């Protein structure tokens, strides 16, 4: 049985120029995930953690849950402590956070994260997750980080991953050499290799979308949903609809079983709900490394140049054939 720590060390030769810093950074994320996992598992017993709103909103105007704030603080502290990160940006922070002591100003990496995706599901014991993305800084080492360090396109990512806190807790990541999953064994206190070199099936039979917003969907999305629901024995349609409402959980299932996740424009969020930097880019990197695709309906997600930290985008991600088919219908009906 190979632990995550052992696997990271074994494969750190993938990045010889990192001199071990990237491995140490991933270890910091691993430790923070164990702390958050512990609190999520205790949430129903601890009244100062469970109970919904923390009494504040994030910059997107969404009510923060107490565990949102807790997870953000845990990951931020873990990343600051080791000295490999010069700054972070988080869905729960209004602006990026620079770590400004001498060692950290010379660090090579910045991290963007959604500390607790799907946190509104905690009170009903539904899976939630953490998403992270790692870039090499573009500003001069030795100087404080700048906004340009964080507004990089997804193609510049050197690592990305997520943790899904569910019936079992898994940490899944890529450094650009495949996607690998590790399941947490609480008896050992370690993440152990359980899914090496994950591949998304080219064609799945699951679609994940909040159909309650159907009336406002673009015509291309409506037509794709009709396609998914039509009976056709040759293509095993109709497909199965599965929507958890936690992006990490929906993506994780579709990556293992094959499927497509869609959060389009035309909902209560005109530009889509999901954040390009904290959610879409890291999962797009993982999808592509696993043989899948991610677009905004027209463009490859990882080629979009960000213009703001909390930028939103429509999102189509999953099995190649399904994303391609949805894209064809988006283009066909784009003028309607």
Do the beta carbons of residue 311 and residue 276 sit within 8 Å? Answer: yes
Cis status of the peptide bond prior to 238, with omega within 30 of 0: yes
- Is 273 annotated to bind ligand? yes
118 is in an annotated binding site: yes
Residue pair 269/275 in contact by the 8 Å Cβ criterion:
no
Known binding residue 327? Answer is no
* Residue 114 annotated as part of some ligand binding site: yes
The response to whether 92 counts as a known ligand-binding position is: no
| Distance between CA atoms of residues 269 and 331, nearest Å | 21
Q: How many helices (H) and strands (E) does the chain have?
A: 9, 15
The answer to whether 121 is a known ligand-binding residue is: no
Residue whose C-alpha is closest to residue 287's, from 314, 258, 265, 309: 258
- Can you give 22-88 as a three-state secondary structure string? HHHHHHHHHHHHHHHHHHHHHHHHCCCCCCCEEEEECCCCCEEEHHHHHHHHHHHHHHHHHCCEEEE
CA distances from 274 to 60, 118, 154, 250 (A): 11, 12, 15, 14
Residue 120, annotated ligand binder?
yes
The SS3 call for residue 280 is helix
- Is 91 marked as binding a ligand? yes
Q: Is 23 assigned to a binding site?
A: no
Name the one residue in this structure whose structure tokens are 């899914």.
195
Residue 310 in 3-state DSSP? coil
Q: Is 303 annotated as a binding residue?
A: no
Q: Is 117 annotated as a binding residue?
A: yes
Instruction: Tell me which residue of 34, 72, 15 sits closest to 185, measured CA to CA.
Output: 34
> Which amino acids are annotated as binding site for Mg(2+), given as ranges?
91, 114, 116-117, 279
Annotated binding site for substrate: 117-120, 210, 243, 273
Known binding residues: 91, 114, 116-120, 210, 243, 273, 279
């Amino acid at each position: 049985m190979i632990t995550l720590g052992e696997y990271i060390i074994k494969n750190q030769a993938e990045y010889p120029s990192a001199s071990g810093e990237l491995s140490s950074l991933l270890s910091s994320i691993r430790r923070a995930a164990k702390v958050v996992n512990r609190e999520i598992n205790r949430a129903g017993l601890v009244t100062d953690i469970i109970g919904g709103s923390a009494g504040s909103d994030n910059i997107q105007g969404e009510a923060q849950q107490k565990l949102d704030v807790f997870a953000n603080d845990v990951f931020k502290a873990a990343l600051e402590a080791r000295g490999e990160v010069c700054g972070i940006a988080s869905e729960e922070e209004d602006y990026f956070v620079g770590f400004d002591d001498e060692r950290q100003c010379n660090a090579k990496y910045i991290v963007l994260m959604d500390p607790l995706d799907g946190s509104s599901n905690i009170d009903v014991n539904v899976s939630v997750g953490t998403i992270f993305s790692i870039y090499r800084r573009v500003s001069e080492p030795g100087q404080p980080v700048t906004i340009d360090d964080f507004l990089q396109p997804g193609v510049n990512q050197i690592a990305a991953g997520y943790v899904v806190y569910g019936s079992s807790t898994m940490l899944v990541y890529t450094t650009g050499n495949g996607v690998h999953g590790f399941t947490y064994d609480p008896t050992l206190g370690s993440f152990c290799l359980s899914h090496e070199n994950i591949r998304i099936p080219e064609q799945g039979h699951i679609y994940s979308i909040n159909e309650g917003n159907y009336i406002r969907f673009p015509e291309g999305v409506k037509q794709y949903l009709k396609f998914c629901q039509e009976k056709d024995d040759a293509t095993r349609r109709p497909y199965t609809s599965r929507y958890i409402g936690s992006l990490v959980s929906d993506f994780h299932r579709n990556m293992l079983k094959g499927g497509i996740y869609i959060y389009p424009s035309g909902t209560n969020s005109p530009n889509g709900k999901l954040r390009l930097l904290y959610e879409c880019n890291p999962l797009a990197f993982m999808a592509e490394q696993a043989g899948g695709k991610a677009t905004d309906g027209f463009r490859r997600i990882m080629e979009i140049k960000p213009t703001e930290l909390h930028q939103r985008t429509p999102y189509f991600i999953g099995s190649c054939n399904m994303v391609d088919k949805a894209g064809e219908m988006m283009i066909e009906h784009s003028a309607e």
